[in-house]
Chain A
Amino acid sequence: MDLKVSDLSVARGGRTLLETVGFRVAAGRALALRGPNGIGKTSLLRVLAGLQPPRTGRVDPGPDAIAYAAHADGIKPSLTVAENLRFWARVFGGPDISTALEAYALAPLASRPAAYLSAGQKRRLGLARLLVTNRPVWVLDEPTVSLDRDAVALFAESVRQHLSQGGLAVIATHVDLGLDAETLDITPFRPARPRIDPGFDEAFA
């Protein structure tokens, strides 16, 4: 399955951030999104995940094929690592959690309440969730924040594994993951003249 994004424009808070964004990611490939802070990477990824409607354009396939991971990992501190992960596995109808625990070296921590995890361990748990979603397209927003070098390697390995099974990934990151990934700088998609989203306040100004 390929991910096709065509003529997408993305607005946030009434401002059009990106226009005519188009790219295509083939199955088994990864795409690294680059661009300075505030350019609209997070908004773009939220649009891909279907959390925010695009101003124009379309994303194919739709949100049902996409697993999304962002800054907040959605971890409940009072549940154990295994319980957190099992919950997401059941919600997404995904596979058994043992592979995911292994992939991020979380097995020894499985019965520890998530409240006692370090920031990096929480991040690993948040990323392990991707493995139980059973979805082919990963949309990841700065996945390596607070990961140490070993954990980044685990993550890269997990992405590689995912790609080799026919999945694909769109990753906004500033770290070189050592993946064989195309890079897309989204700076050129910034509107030529800064402008206000027409649906929003154009009629008033």
Chain B
Amino acid sequence: MASLWEYANPRKFMALSGGLLPWVSAGAALCLVVGLVWGFFFTPDDYRQGSTVKIIYLHVPSALMAINAWFMMLVASLIWLIRRHHVSALAAKAAAPVGAVMTLIALVTGAFWGQPMWGTWWAWDPRLTSFLILFLFYLGYMALWSAIENDDTAADLTSVLCLVGTVFAVLSRYAVNFWNQGLHQGASLSLDKEENVADIFYFPLLVAIAGFVLLFVALVLLRTRTEIRLRRMRALVMREQIS
């Protein structure tokens, strides 16, 4: 029986991801264009916030992916630690810069939104602060990867860092709540329908989120493929050297 783990083999992963990548990329482009154009040009202005509300189509999806990217790294790190699949470790490595950029996008679009709404680019609000802290975690994770020469050691150490970091990132999130109640509005989306934003904003937002998810998957696939090629290249060079 074919097992899911077969795709942990680099060769199989390359074949599968090579086939998937164009489709995922096209899907991402389509969803992003539809979601953003719909959101930007075919939804009404909010009666209080005016057209600034439309930053939501960039802000919410990027914030969502900033957190989910870390979550994906956590899962990939666990798979590496438990099952020792190299592709998993490389996927975690590949996801980190994407997640960091998503965090940065969420912070920057948040600043553009906050400026007209709260009259300030930045406030030490719990959500904003915890995103900044999340960004620092991403930086530390990437710095550790780049500091260690041996690939397996780097994968092991960054995986443990990711695990422990997750715990502390969650702790920070709640500790920050303690420290300041904040300006930021409540969650824009939840499964409980009553709290959601109005339908007219909701559907284009869902499409934009789908676009960001696909974009993230496409970028991670691409970067993982690059990492695998890099490893393959170094393995070949090493083989040349010792024979």
A/B touching: CB–CB < 8 A: yes
Judge whether A203 and B150 touch: CB under 8 Å: no
Q: Chain A: which residue is nearest B11 at the CB level?
A: A203
Contact of B236 among A193, A203, A205 (CB under 8 A): A205
A204 and B235 contact, CB distance less than 8 A: yes
Smallest CB separation, B197 vs chain A (Å):
47
Q: A200 touches which one: B152, B228, B236 (CB < 8 A)?
A: B152
User: A204 contacts B232, CB within 8 Å?
Assistant: yes
Docked-complex contact A203 and B243, CB < 8 angstroms = no
Give A119-143 as 1s and 0s: 1 = Cβ < 8 Å from B's Cβ atoms. 0000000000000000000000000
Question: Which B residues are in CB contact (< 8 Å) with A195?
Answer: 242
In the complex the two chains form, what is the Cα distance from A193 to B242 in whole Å? 9
**Which of B9, B150, B235 makes the CB contact (< 8 A) with A205?**
B235
User: Out of A193, A196, A199, A203, which one reaches B238, CB within 8 Å?
Assistant: A196
Partner pick for B242 among A15, A199, A203, A204, CB 8 A cutoff? A15
The answer to whether A196 and B10 touch (CB under 8 A), given A13-B150, A205-B232, is: no
Interface size on B, residues (CB 8 A): 18
- Per-position 1/0 for A32-76, Cβ under 8 A of B: 000000000000000000000000000000000000000000000
Give B238's nearest chain A residue, CB to CB: A196
Q: Are A204 and B150 in contact (CB under 8 A)?
A: no
Q: B231 to chain A: which residues have CB within 8 Å?
A: 201, 204
Q: Which of A194, A195, A201 has the most CB of B within 10 A?
A: A201
Minimum CB–CB distance for B83 against chain A, Å? 13
Given A193-B243, A194-B243, A204 and B86 touching (CB < 8 A)? Answer: yes
Given A13-B150, A14-B238, A15-B238, answer yes or no on A204-B243 (Cβ-Cβ < 8 Å).
no
Please provide the chain A residues from 178 to 205 with a CB less than 8 Å away from any CB of chain B in the complex: 193-196, 199-205
Contacts of A202 in B (CB 8 A): 235
Task: Please measure, in the bound complex, the distance between the C-alpha atom of A203 and the C-alpha atom of B243, giving whole angstroms.
Answer: 18
- In the complex the two chains form, what is the Cα distance from A200 to B9 in whole Å? 13
CB distance from B50 to the nearest CB of A (A): 54
Q: Which residue of B lies closest to A191 (CB)?
A: B242
Q: Which of B11, B84, B235, B243 contacts A201 (CB 8 A)?
A: B235
Once the chains bind, are A204 and B238 in contact (CB under 8 Å)?
no
Answer yes or no: B239 CB below 8 A from chain A CBs.
yes
Q: State the CA gap A158–B188 with chains docked (Å).
A: 76
Q: Which residues of A contact B238 (CB under 8 A)?
A: 14-15, 196, 201
Report the nearest B residue to A15, measured CB to CB.
B242
B11: A residues at CB distance < 8 A = 203
Query: B184 interface residue, CB < 8 Å from A?
Result: no
The interface residues of chain A lying within 8 Å CB-to-CB of B242 are 15, 194-196
Q: Which chain A residues border B10 with CB–CB below 8 Å?
A: 203-204
Considering the chains assembled together, what is the distance between the CA atoms of A199 and B86 in angstroms?
A: 9
The answer to whether B86 and A203 have CB atoms under 8 Å apart is yes
Contact A204 B152 (CB under 8 A): no
CA distance A199 to B84 in the complex (A): 9
A147 to B228, CA, bound (A): 49
Query: Which are the 10 A-B pairs with shortest beta-carbon distances?
Result: A201-B235, A205-B235, A194-B242, A204-B232, A204-B231, A204-B235, A203-B10, A194-B243, A205-B236, A204-B10
21 contacts between A and B (CB under 8 A): A14-B150, A14-B151, A15-B242, A193-B243, A195-B242, A196-B235, A196-B238, A196-B242, A200-B151, A200-B152, A201-B234, A201-B238, A202-B235, A203-B10, A203-B86, A204-B10, A204-B228, A204-B235, A205-B235, A205-B236, A205-B239
Binding site for B on A (CB under 8 A): 13-15, 193-196, 199-205
Extra inter-chain contacts (19) besides given A15-B238, A205-B232, A205-B235, CB under 8 Å: A13-B150, A14-B150, A14-B152, A14-B238, A15-B242, A193-B243, A194-B242, A195-B242, A196-B235, A196-B238, A196-B242, A200-B152, A201-B235, A201-B238, A203-B9, A203-B10, A203-B11, A204-B235, A205-B239
